[in-house]
Amino acid sequence: MGQLVAGTTYVKVDGVQLTITGGAEAPLMDVKRETIFPGYYKEEELAPYVKMTAILGSDFPIKTLVNGRDMTVTTEFKNGRVYVLAGAYLVDEPSFKADDGTVELQFDGIKGSWQ
């Protein structure tokens, strides 16, 4: 029996659904581990995030996203998993690409959790 593991992803920011192309990306861990010597490692905290490519249509909430400092980003993956990013804000330098009507978005936040 086959199992659905990929497909359309749905992203909502403070309840407003974005139209995205492809999928979205979210981390599985909240730490980065590095081996110092076999059997010994160090950890450093990572900022939780969600990355995606969104279509910038006429209803795209530019002001909300640009000015948001404490948003909730809910990402529903086709495999049934949901990742919720709390205390979210846009990072990097999102810019509009006129050739395909998209914008690359990355939200970092305070807490990310898999539901």
User: Considering the domain boundaries, does residue 73 fall inside one?
Assistant: yes
Looking up residue 36, the CATH number of its domain turns out to be 2.40.30
pTM: 0.88
Q: Within a domain: residue 4?
A: no
Number of Cβ within 10 Å of residue 87's Cβ equals: 16
Written as tens digits, the pLDDT of the chain (115 aa) is 777 656 668 899 999 999 998 789 999 999 999 999 999 999 999 999 999 999 999 999 999 999 999 999 999 988 889 999 999 999 999 999 999 999 999 999 999 999 9
Instruction: Taking the CA atoms of 22, 26, 28 and 33 in sequence, report the sign of the dihedral they define.
Output: positive
Give domain status of residue 5, yes or no.
Answer: no
The number of angstroms, rounded, from the C-alpha of 89 to the middle of its chain's C-alpha atoms is 11
> How many domains, the chain?
1
Asked if residue 104 belongs to a domain, the reply is yes
Range of the domain at 33: 10-114
